[in-house]
Amino acid sequence: MTAETAVVIPTLVLLVAALLWGLMAAAMRIQCVDAARAGARAAARGEPAAGVAAAVRSTAPRGARIETRSEGELVRVVVRARTAGPGPLTVELRSQAVALDERKAGEANAGEASAVRAAG
């Protein structure tokens, strides 16, 4: 074995490991995005908190944290997950989705319609 080979082989191993870690992180990010969207859709339909959590957990990466908030007529779902890896390679991924709460939007539209009828 030459000296060049002794240097190149560990470098190639590190490169492949870094590429695999990046691929796994990208896949986890996509899972977080999908989970946040599923949770926002479930919350917008008026599902109970357990139903929203079940919708998120079905697509979220293992160990993900979920946060759901109502902001006026909007529902916001945030999903956070940490990548696998030693020490500094562990990165927190965060994704959020926002949806219009169908129940509150329906109430607002009904109120506007009755106000129009009363004025007309």
Alpha-carbon distances of 59 from 5, 11, 20, 109, rounded to whole Å: 43, 35, 21, 33
Residue that the structure tokens 């896949």 belong to: 27
Q: What is the pLDDT along the chain (120 residues), one digit of tens a residue?
A: 788 888 899 999 999 998 999 999 999 999 999 999 999 999 999 899 999 999 999 999 999 999 999 988 999 999 999 998 777 778 999 999 999 998 877 665 555 555 445 555
Instruction: Give the pLDDT of residue 29.
Output: 95
Question: Does pTM surpass 0.85?
Answer: no
